[in-house]
Chains A and B, each alone.
Chain A
Amino acid sequence: ETGVTQSPTHLIKTRGQQVTLRCSSQSGHNTVSWYQQALGQGPQFIFQYYREEENGRGNFPPRFSGLQFPNYSSELNVNALELDDSALYLCASSLDRGTYNEQFFGPGTRLTVL
């Protein structure tokens, strides 16, 4: 069974640029959630995708957007990068979208915005 994978592992961008982060869900999982973890804090929910549709969103501006593909992999796109976007971005997959489903996390992408 393949776990959750993310790419790239590290990324450096400058303010105003755009970035795309990628996530492959665990085998058999159809739901992907994205979280942002600032240094020294717990992860914050960005949004969730279920069967290619957004299925819930946290308190993040519209410049954070996403996609889910038919194979349930997902992308997180961030436009007009700001310095505060520097963080560890974590992707989690679950068997289904219900609240009772355990979420499993990937290794994360560390984004630095200069």
Chain B
Amino acid sequence: GIQVEQSPPDLILQEGANSTLRCNFSDSVNNLQWFHQNPWGQLINLFYIPSGTKQNGRLSATTVATERYSLLYISSSQTTDSGVYFCAVIRDNAGNMLTFGGGTRLMVKP
């Protein structure tokens, strides 16, 4: 099956700092989603971005499908950004199951 690797696995930031999270995948995809999992376990949709660039407030994401990676940018981080960020993909012609990476655990300190 498809492999999804996220880096870094852990990240500690001071409030106000910027960060870049990376997701590499091993095969062509036609669905890629970024999620934020809060401390209570809720997965919150950030972006649906199989290709291209999107922005939503302090967050933006870019997927370069031909090179099999996606980046999530967090600017001016806040303590409420803490949690785990997951990238998940569906491989081309492989049905409908999302395959998740291992996540990036982010802690933003005040």
- Which residues of A are at the interface with B, using a C-beta cutoff of 8 A? 31, 33, 35, 37, 41-45, 48, 55-56, 58, 88, 90, 92, 97-105, 107-108, 110
A43-B86, A97-B96 given; 14 more Cβ-contact pairs under 8 Å: A31-B96, A37-B41, A42-B4, A42-B86, A42-B100, A45-B98, A99-B95, A99-B96, A100-B31, A101-B31, A101-B96, A105-B35, A107-B40, A108-B41
Is B83 among interface residues, defined by CB-CB distance under 8 A? Answer: no
Residue of A nearest to B4 (CB): A42
CB contacts (< 8 Å) of B103 on chain A: these are 42
The docked-state distance in angstroms from the alpha carbon of A83 to that of B40 is: 22
Verify if B12 is at the interface (C-beta below 8 Å from A): no
Known: A33-B96, A42-B103. A105 touches B30 (CB 8 A): no
Return 12 A-B CB contacts under 8 Å, by A number.
A42-B100, A43-B98, A45-B97, A56-B95, A90-B43, A100-B30, A101-B31, A102-B31, A102-B33, A105-B43, A107-B41, A108-B42
What's the minimum C-beta distance from B36 to chain A, rounded to whole angstroms?
11
Instruction: Write out the residue numbers on chain B whose beta carbons fall within 8 Å of the beta carbon of A99.
Output: 30-31, 90, 92, 94-96
Q: Give every chain A residue within 8 A of B45 (Cβ-Cβ).
A: 102, 104-105
How many B residues are at the interface, by size bracket? Answer: 20 to 34
B41-A33 in contact (CB<8A): no
In the complex, the answer to whether A98 meets B35 with C-beta atoms within 8 Å is no
B42 near A107 with CB under 8 A, answer yes
B18 to chain A, nearest CB (A): 25
**In the complex, which residues of chain B have a beta carbon less than 8 angstroms from the beta carbon of A35?**
98
Which of chain B's residues have a CB closer than 8 A to the CB of A41? 102
Give the 3 A-B residue pairs with the shortest CB-CB distance, closest first.
A42-B100, A45-B97, A105-B43
Q: Return chain A residues, CB-CB under 8 Å to B102.
A: 41-42
**Contact between chains at B48 and A58 (CB < 8 Å):** no
